[in-house]
Each structure stands twice: as C-alpha cells, then as structure tokens.
C-alpha cells in the first residue's frame, strides 16, 4: 500500500468467532462451533491486532440494505502516519482435541 501522504490505515476481519488475542497482539485464536483458526500478523512488524465491535465507522457509508453485523466482532489492525506498508496475515487451522 502506497499513500500520497501520511495517513491512518485500518484493516478489518469481521467474524462471529470468539477472538482471543495473544499478549503481544501479533496473533489471535478464533474459536467457533468447535473449530479453531489461528491468525498471525506477519507484517508490518510494528503493527498489532485489537478486537472491536463490528459496527460501521463514523465515516463509513451506511447503505439502507447493508447486512447486519449482529453477533460479529472485528479483528482490527490500525496504523497511523503510514506512507507505505504491506499487510500480511497468515491463517492456520488448529487441530482441536476431542
């Protein structure tokens, strides 16, 4: 991603899963219906995940037929003063013991 001027940059992954963040904010474990998925933030190295309600932002368009985000939350990466970056996530299924 290359921006013309330093800007705030957001990345969202909306999910119905329970989200458990690692202490360092570099990975999250998503759990739903007995299945798990590990999400790792590969780059940028200084970015961290957070969890927020899955609602449109104050500047987001809100068309009348937009589907509901009820029951969802968002795994979020927020970066400030970005001029150039690459966002790379890795998603790995986790074997769940019976």
* pLDDT-derived band at 98, boundaries 50, 70, 90: low
pLDDT digits (tens, 9 = 90+) for 12-68: 999 999 999 999 999 999 999 999 999 999 999 999 999 999 887 777 777 788 777
Cα-based distances in Å from 6 to 37, 60, 83, 84, 88: 33, 20, 5, 8, 20
Distance CA 44, CA 30 (A): 21
Q: How far is CA 7 from CA 4, 22, 75, 80, 90, in A?
A: 9, 27, 20, 6, 25
């Amino acid at each position: 991603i290359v921006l013309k001027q330093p800007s705030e940059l957001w990345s969202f992954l909306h999910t119905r899963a329970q989200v458990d963040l690692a202490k360092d904010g570099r990975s999250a474990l998503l759990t739903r219906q007995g299945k798990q998925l590990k999400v790792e933030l590969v780059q940028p190295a200084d970015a961290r995940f957070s969890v927020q309600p899955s609602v449109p932002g104050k500047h987001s368009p809100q068309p009348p037929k937009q589907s509901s985000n009820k029951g969802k939350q968002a795994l979020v990466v927020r970066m400030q003063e970005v001029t150039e970056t690459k966002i790379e996530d890795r998603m790995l299924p986790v074997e769940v013991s019976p």
